A and B are shown apart, each in its own frame.
Chain A
Amino acid sequence: MTARMDKRFADIAAEGRPALVTYFMAGDPDYASSLEIMKALPKAGSDVIELGMPFSDPMADGPAIQLAGQRALAGGQTLAKTIQMARDFRRHDDATPIVLMGYYNPIYIYGVDRFLDEALEAGIDGLIVVDLPPEMDDELCIPALAKGINFIRLATPTTDEKRLPTVLKNTSGFVYYVSMNGITGSALPDPSLIGGAVGRIKAHTTLPVCVGFGVKTAEHARAIGASADGVVVGTAIVNQIASSLTADGKASAATVAGVETLVMSLASGVRASRLAAAE
């Protein structure tokens, strides 16, 4: 699929380390600050950006990401503005893959064709839509693949051997392994169990397997990165943004700087992980 995504994962594999995939909510707490965060991410060591599309009813997310979505919506964020943010980012960075992540309804209301055309033109490389399982592929997945946008699927601990081929069938870009049954922001499960699960998925696909849900620190990133092709961090970044806001919810001088510091630390974690595994 999109060359940008494939090249990025190939380059990182050649470096012999896992990728750092960072998630944050578009428009949290406002458009301008959010765009600055996005621009800071690659410089701090993020390899792939997941740009959250705010939704009023995020059923698979924990309180941190739910609140981030509410802040973004209160700040006037819309799907059109989220696509615009990717477009603005692309003027500065044409190499870092962007994946939009969220729920289907805002896309459905925007219009699937219009959304895909604009996303492609804005330089968006992939989509993660939490409430579109393979059974609903006709809605967005097939049209997205036809236009050349990756459709990245979540595999979970409940995705057994029998179901795995169904889940992987129309997946492209990478596979996002959700490390536990639960919502975003929960505690990290035992990394050794995750290694087995990643191996199980890799037996069925040549796509990179990135692992998320519960990764909060450089140490987590290092441990998960020992077996995965990529480590996804979301809630920790969103929490970092939340803690930097002023009492009335506005961005402060620490908002972008705080994310930079955290992501640099996580990046050192993924860069140490294969070294550690080789020890």
Chain B
Amino acid sequence: MNQSPNLNSYREGPDEDGRFGIFGGRFVAETLMPLILELQDEWDKAKTDPAFQAELKDLGAHYIGRPSPLYYAERLTQHLGGAKIYFKREELNHTGSHKINNCIGQILLAKRMGKTRIIAETGAGQHGVASATVAARFGFPCVVYMGATDVERQAPNVFRMKLLGAEVKPVTAGSGTLKDAMNEALRDWVTNVDDTYYLIGTAAGPHPYPEMVRDFQAVIGAEAREQLLAAEGRLPDMVIAAVGGGSNAIGIFHPFLDDKNVQIVGVEAGGKGLDGDLHCASLTAGSPGVLHGNRTYLLQDADGQIKEGHSISAGLDYPGIGPEHAWLHQIGRAEYVPIMDDEALEAFQLLTKLEGIIPALEPSHAIAEVIKRAPKMGKDQIILMNLSGRGDKDIFTVGKILGMEL
């Protein structure tokens, strides 16, 4: 483990079989294979099609609100007394998180492929809302699978999806959380493979999804790189992002992977601690396995049965992680660390009070890591952090924990 291969570039993956080292691949039922190969063809064509790229860019500018601002967090920087802290403000996007970047890209592909129905899975509901949003915008019927447990704890997002015209199907099978929602979406897809497009929300799943979602999200890092060069005349010393499945993180990391002096840090959900099962730290506490179409790090038992994750943040509550992160972890190009529920909660409150920004609980994990790292760094150093989503959806969860009636 952690043997750095002698690579000319860290940005060339995956190979033609969809592999990042030993990770990734196409572990799906035969029924889905022809469709996945078709999707790959269509994606290969779209990547180099100027008309597709122009439409993506136009919707990015006028529908999502890109580029998102790069913000110097002056008060947080002063408070911590070390490195200068910059936020990439993905929480200001339409629908309130980075998820929309990927949804816009994939709905354009679904349209190109002549599909007439969209399905998606969601945990916290952010990807479900973003999927329902683009489905409304492009006039597709949309079914969102959501664990029954999550339907209950994310009621506002369930209502948003319904307002947007999506059908939200609660999943009671298994344990009723994100992984079960993903199983159920795959079952729907296998059944309705002719007309249905599966809009996967994170940079995981069978090839080409991890590559495709990364490329749609890499706009985050590409913009931030340019913006920071303009503001500071140089690259950051460190890039930090939270990882659940890992789409916001790979989006901001990828454009910096070949900048050897830029340290890359992914923050996993440590939940209530790594000793027991109440966490989602697939990389720090899991092992390689095969689930949901790809080989990656998973939380599993000695018999290869998948465990349930736990996190205060429903968006990080997944027992796996995107295969490219698994590879970056294995070769040591990126470092992955856990942040506990209570640390994320403190960071959530600190940022709200110091900067007047209510962050989602997912990036609150990244903020907690910034809080640990910045004071140890010099004032001439720079941390870039992906503020991937806003916290409106989390105020009920946070209120409950802090003992406030809403």
Contacts and interface: CB of A to CB of B under 8 A. Distances in A.
Contacts of B290: 103-105, 108, 131
Given A57-B174, A163-B33, A181-B194, A108 B304 contact: yes
A106 B304 contact: yes
A45 to B, nearest CB: 29
Contacts of A148: none
Nearest to A80: B303
Nearest to A63: B173
A135 B191 contact: no
A35 interface: no
Contact of B30 (A56, A79, A155, A183): A155
B26 to A, nearest CB: 5
Given A158-B35, A181-B193, A133 B28 contact: yes
A181 B304 contact: no
B299 to A, nearest CB: 11
Contacts of A221: none
Given A104-B290, A181-B191, A59 B29 contact: yes
Interface residues of B, number: 38
Main secondary structure of the interface of B (DSSP, over half): mixed
A132 interface: yes
B305 A60 contact: no
A278 interface: no
A109 B29 contact: no
A66 B173 contact: yes
A57 B179 contact: yes
Interface string A63-93: 1001000100100001110000000000000
Nearest to B33: A133
Nearest to B17: A135
A46 B306 CA distance: 33
Among A56, A57, A157, find the residue whose CB has the most chain B CB atoms closer than 10 A.
A56
A136 B25 contact: yes
Interface string A99-122: 000011111111000000000000
A134 B17 CA distance: 12
Contacts of A181: 31, 190-194
Interface in B8-33: 17, 25-33
29 contacts: A56-B306, A57-B174, A57-B179, A57-B180, A57-B292, A59-B183, A60-B29, A73-B305, A79-B303, A80-B303, A104-B27, A106-B303, A106-B304, A107-B304, A108-B295, A132-B27, A133-B29, A136-B27, A155-B30, A158-B33, A158-B34, A158-B35, A159-B30, A163-B33, A163-B34, A181-B191, A181-B193, A182-B190, A183-B191
Interface residues of A, number: 44
B289 interface: yes
Contacts of B302: 109
Nearest to B298: A105
B191 A59 contact: no
Nearest to A160: B34
B306 A57 contact: yes
Closest 3 CB pairs of A and B: A109-B304, A106-B304, A182-B191
A153 interface: yes
Contacts of A154: 29-31
B186 interface: yes
A62 interface: yes
Contacts of A70: 174
Contacts of A163: 33-34
Given A59-B183, A104-B27, A131-B27, A159 B34 contact: yes
A106 B190 contact: no
A178 interface: yes
B25 A79 contact: no
Contacts of A63: 173
Nearest to A73: B305
B291 A57 contact: yes
Given A66-B174, A105-B300, A60 B26 contact: no
A59 B304 contact: no
A131 B17 CA distance: 15
A140 to B, nearest CB: 11
Contacts of B192: 181
A186 interface: yes
Nearest to A110: B304
A60 B186 CA distance: 8
A167 interface: yes
Which of B17, B287, B295, B303 has the largest count of A CB atoms less than 10 A from its CB? Answer: B303
A249 to B, nearest CB: 17
A108 B305 CA distance: 11
Interface in B272-330: 287, 289-293, 295, 298, 300, 302-306
Nearest to A186: B191
A130 interface: yes
Contacts of A131: 27-29, 290, 293
Given A59-B187, A158-B193, A178-B31, 14 more contacts: A57-B291, A60-B187, A60-B190, A78-B303, A105-B290, A105-B306, A106-B305, A132-B27, A133-B29, A135-B17, A154-B30, A163-B33, A181-B190, A181-B194
